[in-house]
Structure formats: structure tokens, C-alpha cells
Amino acid sequence: MSPSHRFSALFAKEWYELTVSRAFWLLLLMIGPLVGHGFITAVETYAEASGIAGGPAALSQGLSPLDGILVPTFGAYDLAVTLLFPFIAIRLIAAEKSNGAWTLMLQAPVGMPAMLLAKALALLAAWALVWAPGVLSLALWKFYGGALHSPETLNLLLGYLLRALLASGVAVAAAAIASHAATAAIAALGFTVGTWALEFVAAGRGGLLARLASYTPTSALKVFEQGQLRLNTLAVVLLLALAGFTLAAVWLAGYRTLRAKLAGSLIAAAVTAALVCGAAMLRPAWDLSENRRNSLPYADEQALRQIRQPLRVTVYLAPEDPRLLDLNREVLSKLDRVLPRVEIEYAARSRSGLFEGPADHYGEVWYELGGRKTMSRSATAEVVLDTLYQAAGIAPPSRTAETAYAGHPLAAEPRAAAWVFYLLWPLVVAMAGWLHFRYRSRG
């Protein structure tokens, strides 16, 4: 048998193991109503903002299908990939370890990389099937007359695909290391809780802690939900997912001693850390949102590209201060896409800023560029940009009025959505599952 035929047989075997899992069918059964609830609620809210009840419509510039429809609808997949999908990935490893099938598979002519690749492809195929309700929601939105911007839609789907890959890597590694499936499930959930704790601790802080927190699953997904494609985020998430499968390969090699497995794990962790540090330094980033929410005006971006020195920003604002949120969202995150290097230090001593005063420089934001320092208290983009131009010795560009984002208001009702997601989808999945298990019992 040729290598390609052996791999096809191996993939078929993994797909069969996945489809006989009741957890997989339970995920398929639950994802329809979850996505449907998010979609129906999003359409109704979007319609209210568009003036469906006869009241005044909201500003059209604020009505974006990415924020109003796509993110709330696909939020169900974040819940599924956090709480449900890891159990499916764990079962692919834990079941073979418990019944001794993995020991026999190690004697097969295919190598460990091929076996883990087959499992990864089977999990991706399963995730593609789980995406069916989300694709249905996109079709319904288009049927209602809604608009979709292809770049930001595909970018969002890429974000959730990477989220599933990372969850698969963590789950497979946990199943390979743990002795029982329940222990692996707790370890996978513990990883997720640990990333949440890291985000909480790093909120409003700079330095290494903030950089680590920017690559947690939730933070990485937010980048795609904002319509951004950052090469460093893409590379880091892929490397972390690959690290999970590498750890699984180390621990699933039956002939290795515990010491050898620990040594292999340390080597894999060291190599991954080095690669992640290199990937985190990648600068290319693209704003794929239709309304250019992640970008500065074109004229300012062209002027800022003349700056070659690194920018150092010292912020004396507390994490709970709304001005810090505005500054990060409207200015600093956009500068990071244009300038060659931006270093941010959050120097406030408290989380609320209630007990800091003028002596603590509270409210000041210092910008250091090429050895020249200047200060501003504003979180407005135009004021901050003028401050940077002054520090860099660059003449401010002439700002012409750019074409405003028109928005896509749509006062539509979610017709037939409840029937599709709450009745038709569960019936189809239940019937397909019943036929599958009945055919399996006869076979």
C-alpha cells in the first residue's frame, strides 16, 4: 500500500472514531440553537437601531454588520470551542490510550507525525461541519438584504479557525500527558482559566506581561473581531497549536522513559518560546474592516511613515480610567500599525487613579521620539498626532475630509430563523445521528 493510501486509511479511521463519539453529536445538536439565539438577537437589535419600530434610526456610521451581526452570532463558537470542542479532541487520544489501541498503532508503518496529522485534519473536518449553522446565518442575513464585507468576514472566520486549532493542540497535549480523560479535561479548562487570569492581571500594564496577554486565545480572537489581520498574532497562535501536537508526540512515544519525556518537553518548550519571541516581533498588519476602524486617516499615515525612530509612550492613566481605553483604542493601537516600533509604559500606581494627583503626573501622557520628549493630556487622535509631528519635526499634513463610512442600516426581522435553528437543525442532526449509530450497530 502506498503512503498516500495508508494516510487516507488512517484519516478514515480517525474520522470514524470521531463520528462515533456522542460528544461530537451533542456538540452538533447544541451549536444550532446557540448560533441561532445569537443571530436572532443580533438581527432584532440591529433592526431596532435601524428604526424598525418607527423611531429614529441610529447613526448609520455606527451600524456595521461585523459588530452588529457577525461577532454576536459567531460568539457561540467561542463558547463551543472553550467548553465543548476540547472533549472531542481529548477523546481521540484518551480512548486509544485506555483500550490499548495506541500501543498497536505505534507498530504500524506510518510514523507519529502522520498519525497526529490525521487527528488534526479530522478535528478540522469536524469543526468545518460545526460551522454549518454559522454559514446558514450568513445566508439568512444576505436573504434579508444585509450587507457583508468579504475581507472582514473571511478574516473573522480565520480567527475562529485558529481558535479551534489552538484548542485542539491544548486538548491533544493534555490527553497525551494525563492518565485519564477527566484529568485531561480539567487541565484543558485550567489552561483557559489561566489565560483569563493573565488578561486580568495584565490589564492596563505594559512590558512583557502585556505582550504575553495579547496572545491569549481571547485577546487573539479580539484582533480578528475588530477586522485586523496581524501577522504576529497569526504566527504565534499557529506556533502554540503546533507546540501542543509536538508535546503530544513526545508523551505518546511508548518506548520513552519519564525522564526522556520530560527532557523532550523542555526542549519543545524552549524551541517554541524562541520561535514565539521571533514571531511576536513581526510587524506587518492589515486593516480589513470596511469602515477602517483600525486605521488613521490616509494623510496622517503617509506622514507618520516618515518617522523611523522608535516611539516610547509613558501613560499616567489608571486601567479603570475611560481615557485610557479611548487612548488605546483610538490612538496607540493605530500607531502600532504604522510606526516601526512603539513601546508603551503604563506608569499609574493604582487601578482607579482616585488617589493620584498632580504630583504623580496623573493624566499626563509623555511621548519620546528621537530623544525629544513632549507631553499631552488629550486622548484625541488629532491632538496626539500633532504632538508627535512636533516631536518628530514633521509638518502636519493637510487633512482633507475623507469619505465617511456610510454604514448598512437594515430594519429586517429574523424571518424563519427560529424554525431553522431551533427546529430544523436539531431534527436533521438527531436524524443523522440516529441513522449513523443504527448503521454502525448493524455493521
Domain ranges across the chain? 3-287+412-442, 298-392
Least confident residue range of 13-17, 98-102, 189-193: 98-102
Helix boundaries (H) for 286-395:
298-304, 322-327, 333-338, 381-392
Please check the confidence at residue 57 and state whether its pLDDT lies above 60: no
Average pLDDT in the 165-176 region?
94
Which homologous superfamily does the CATH classification assign to the domain defined by 298-392? Glutaredoxin (3.40.30.10)
Please check the confidence at residue 106 and state whether its pLDDT lies above 90: no
Report the run of H or E that residue 340 belongs to, with start and end.
Answer: none
Q: What percent of the chain has pLDDT over 70?
A: 92
Which has the closest alpha carbon to 353: 384, 301, 318, 316?
318
CB 93 within 8 A of CB 176: yes
Q: Between 100 and 374, whose confidence is greater?
A: 374
Residue 54: what pLDDT? 58
CB 245 within 8 A of CB 172: yes
Please check the confidence at residue 142 and state whether its pLDDT lies above 90: yes
C-alpha 303 chain-centroid distance = 31
Average pLDDT in the 2-28 region?
86
pLDDT tens digits along 328-383: 888 888 888 888 888 888 887 776 656 665 656 788 888 888 888 888 888 888 88
In the sheet with 342-346, reading across from the earlier edge strand, the strands are 342-346, 311-315, 365-369, 372-376
Residue 7: what pLDDT? 84
What gap in Å lies between CA 188 and CA 183, rounded to an integer?
A: 9
Which three three-digit cell numbers place residue 73? Answer: 452570532
Residue 354: what pLDDT? 60
CB 86 within 8 A of CB 164: no
Count Cα neighbours of 230 within 13 Å in the Cβ-side half-sphere: 26
